């Protein structure tokens, strides 16, 4: 596929992801001269109408959603015996990758990301489009912190009939709403529930519900209340926890009524204002599943076991593996059967006590291998290393970075838990951000793979919002994901203010700005070639710290200095030049023939006497000279005409 050109337009550069029904390539659009992501339906599905329809639906659903937080669809078509979608190529990381490397995330980062997702979902919902598969793998954060929601592959119009797609439902069980788990129609509230799961994972670094298999997880979405995030991680703001738990309400009617309402409460949390408590957990939402099927024996309950996990495709393009052939009804019946079986198993375990032949997997993350073996032995399980040690952004050398199965899963006594050990923290070069503005510094730090810890500090010599120093310093190596502390100027200490720059402003504007800064303006008029009323200088200079109510002298232009033109009529050129220069003006003396005027004297001037002009202006004085005489030549000689040109003398002040 690499190097092939689709429809004489899209040249495939390399493969960037693969999902259950499509591969995604980086391609270059030769017509518009830009890089695009080319999503190509796998050849084995190219002849199946069901998958072609789903593929087309993805393009149609997203193509009508032109929003800065939704991935843009450019084109779709059929070529090379298959179907493709051309879409915006995103430079960044999936939110899932960010959670895995940096969670728990700071509350302000959680709000920033969630707010942009809500902007996207709110726009889609107003267009009557339900995403139905909101999860961190389908959310991309680019290098500048912008969030994009992608993969509308199973999106449907809100008014469309329910479509049961087993692969899709089971593939995203961790983020599934209770009503979707029960086979009901997904609504806007379903998307908001899934976002609640994503926010829970960002805040705690853990999913609210985990289980041995997708069906077990779906049952918990319907039956079990989530553990409040504050019980898992310290420092979670109460308001943010309330927002998350409201989004995770089992009953859609108890969640937010719209993305706008959800966003409104997030803004209240960010502003430090109160939000309403989340509704109390009610088991009313379990009515559909709790009434399905009859009792199941303990022997049958132990038959619901964890299934093996295969490696996931790249996060941005993760999709459930589609199922081929046949009508969808048998698959729905199969799901119902599994739910009945799993629901019965759940009831037996919950109400009759845990089977003595099973054990619950403990959390081994962060322990050493020896500590993990001791911990597992307490519940009758074994621990083995699952593979080679791997670099980590979070855990020190020899600590466990992941385990399989995860905490909370049920295993038969004597079963084995696989763990992976940290080979040490991955390091990277720390960028030097001293002297940068806070926003620019934070972006550089996060782009380098670190977290920025901003600490304001008063300063009398560093402008507000500029980084004064950092720890560790630039160009040192530090573990990826670690915090880089930057000390940012908050301006002068209490009681001091920074002098604003008012040079170039009008007198009125300068006085107003100084008053706003709690300073007093002292106006001093000065002669200047700047327009009248403009501030040409100030003291103290801008950005210097001074005490509140200090005087700031502003020099305001009164315009250029003026001079009165003296009369030089009847003077000799020497007298005229001296008188003009004594008035602060520049003399330009011109001698020219003037009939009827006394030679050697000024007979006219420009400008005229007593006019006001700027100092340094030129005054023209015209001196009369004798008329030239004409000689009579012999008749045999051709006549010649002698013309005397005026002569001009400019005094030195003119600069000529």
Judge contact between 583 and 555, C-beta under 8 A. no
3-state percent breakdown (helix, strand, coil) of the chain, nearest 5: 30, 25, 45
DSSP letter at 643? Answer: -
How many angstroms separate the Cα of 214 from the Cα of each of 183, 317, 336, 371, 633?
A: 14, 20, 13, 30, 128
Residue 231 CB coordination number (10 Å):
11
Strands (E), 32-146: 34-41, 73-79, 82-88, 92-94, 129-130, 139-142
- Helical pair 188-204 and 95-102, crossing angle rounded to 10 deg: 30
DSSP 130-145: E-S---GGGEEEETTS
Q: 409 φ, ψ to 5°?
A: -70, 155
Cα distance between residue 394 and residue 398, in whole Å: 12
Catalytic residue among 29, 75, 108, 133: 133
Cα distance between residue 208 and residue 223, in whole Å: 12
DSSP 198-215: HHHHHHHSS-S---SSHH
**In DSSP terms, which residues pair with 605 in a beta bridge?**
621
Cα distance between residue 320 and residue 144, in whole Å: 30
Q: Measuring CA to CA, which residue among 311, 421, 309 is closest to residue 364?
A: 421
Judge contact between 156 and 188, C-beta under 8 A. no
DSSP letter at 64? Answer: T
Cα distance between residue 318 and residue 284, in whole Å: 33
Judge contact between 197 and 175, C-beta under 8 A. yes
Cα distance between residue 372 and residue 358, in whole Å: 18
- 133 part of the active site: yes
Cα distance between residue 369 and residue 185, in whole Å: 46
Cα distance between residue 432 and residue 81, in whole Å: 52
Q: Measuring CA to CA, which residue among 368, 432, 354 is closest to residue 401?
A: 368
Cα distance between residue 507 and residue 517, in whole Å: 16
- Helical pair 214-223 and 329-352, crossing angle rounded to 10 deg: 70
Cα distance between residue 522 and residue 514, in whole Å: 10
Q: Measuring CA to CA, which residue among 188, 87, 54 is closest to residue 129?
A: 188
What are 407's two structure tokens?
């905490």
Residue 298 CB coordination number (10 Å):
14
> Does the CA dihedral 85-88-92-93 come out positive or negative?
negative
**Residues tagged active-site:** 133
């Amino acid at each position: 596929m690499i190097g092939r050109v689709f429809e004489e337009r899209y040249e495939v550069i390399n493969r960037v992801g693969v999902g259950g029904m499509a591969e995604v390539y980086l391609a270059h659009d030769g017509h518009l001269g830009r890089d695009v992501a080319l999503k190509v339906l796998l050849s084995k599905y190219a002849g199946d109408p069901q998958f072609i329809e789903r593929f087309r639906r993805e393009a149609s659903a997203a193509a009508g959603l032109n929003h800065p937080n939704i991935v843009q669809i450019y084109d779709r078509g059929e070529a090379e015996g298959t179907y493709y979608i051309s879409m915006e190529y995103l430079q960044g990381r999936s939110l899932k990758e960010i959670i895995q490397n940096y969670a728990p995330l700071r509350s302000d980062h959680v709000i920033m990301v969630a707010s942009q997702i809500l902007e996207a979902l709110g726009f889609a919902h107003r267009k009557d489009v339900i995403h139905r598969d909101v999860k961190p793998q389908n959310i991309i954060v680019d290098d500048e912190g912008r969030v994009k929601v992608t993969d509308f592959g199973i999106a449907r119009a809100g008014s469309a009939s329910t479509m049961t797609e087993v692969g899709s439902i089971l593939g995203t069980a961790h983020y599934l709403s209770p009503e979707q788990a029960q086979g009901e129609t997904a609504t806007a509230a379903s998307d908001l529930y899934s976002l609640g799961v994503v926010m829970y994972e960002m805040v705690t670094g853990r999913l609210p519900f985990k289980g041995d298999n997708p069906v077990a997880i779906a049952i918990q979405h319907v039956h079990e209340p989530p553990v409040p995030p504050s019980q898992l991680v310290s420092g979670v703001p109460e308001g943010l926890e309330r927002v998350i738990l409201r989004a995770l309400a089992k009953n859609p009617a108890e969640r937010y009524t719209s993305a706008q309402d959800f966003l409104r409460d997030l803004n209240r949390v960010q502003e430090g204002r109160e939000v309403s408590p989340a509704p109390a957990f009610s088991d009313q939402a379990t009515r559909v599943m709790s009434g399905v099927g009859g009792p199941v024996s303990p022997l049958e309950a132990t038959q619901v076991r964890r299934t093996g996990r295969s490696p996931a495709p790249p996060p941005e393009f993760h999709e459930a593996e589609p199922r081929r052939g046949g009508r969808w009804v048998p698959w729905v019946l199969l799901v119902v059967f599994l739910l009945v079986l799993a629901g019965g198993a759940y009831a037996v375990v919950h109400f009759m006590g845990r089977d003595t032949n099973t054990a619950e997997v403990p959390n081994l993350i962060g322990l050493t291998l020896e500590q993990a073996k001791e911990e597992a032995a307490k519940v009758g399980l074994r621990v083995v290393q699952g593979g080679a040690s791997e670099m980590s952004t979070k855990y020190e050398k020899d600590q466990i970075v992941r385990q399989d199965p995860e905490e909370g899963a049920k295993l038969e006594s004597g079963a084995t838990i696989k763990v992976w050990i940290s080979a040490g923290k991955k390091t990277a070069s720390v960028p030097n951000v001293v002297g940068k503005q806070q926003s620019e510094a934070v972006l550089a730090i996060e782009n380098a793979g670190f977290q920025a810890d901003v600490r304001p500090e008063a300063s009398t010599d560093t402008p507000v919002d500029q980084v004064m120093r950092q720890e560790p310093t630039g160009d040192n190596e530090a573990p990826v994901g670690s915090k880089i502390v930057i000390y940012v100027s908050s301006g002068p200490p209490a009681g001091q203010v920074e002098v604003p720059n008012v040079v170039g402003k009008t007198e009125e504007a300068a006085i107003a700005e100084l008053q706003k800064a709690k300073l007093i303006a002292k106006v001093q008029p000065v002669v200047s070639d700047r327009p009248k009323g403009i501030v040409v200088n100030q003291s103290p200079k801008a950005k210097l710290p001074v005490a509140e109510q200090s005087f700031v002298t502003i020099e305001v232009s009164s315009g250029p200095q003026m001079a009165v033109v003296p009369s030089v009529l009847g003077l000799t050129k020497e007298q005229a030049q001296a008188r003009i220069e004594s008035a602060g003006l520049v003399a330009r003396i011109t001698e020219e023939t003037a009939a009827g005027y006394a030679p050697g004297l000024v007979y006219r001037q420009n400008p005229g006497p007593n006019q006001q002009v700027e100092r340094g202006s030129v005054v023209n004085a015209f001196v009369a000279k004798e008329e030239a005489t004409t000689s009579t030549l012999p008749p045999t000689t051709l006549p010649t005409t002698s013309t005397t040109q005026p002569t001009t003398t400019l005094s030195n002040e003119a600069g000529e």
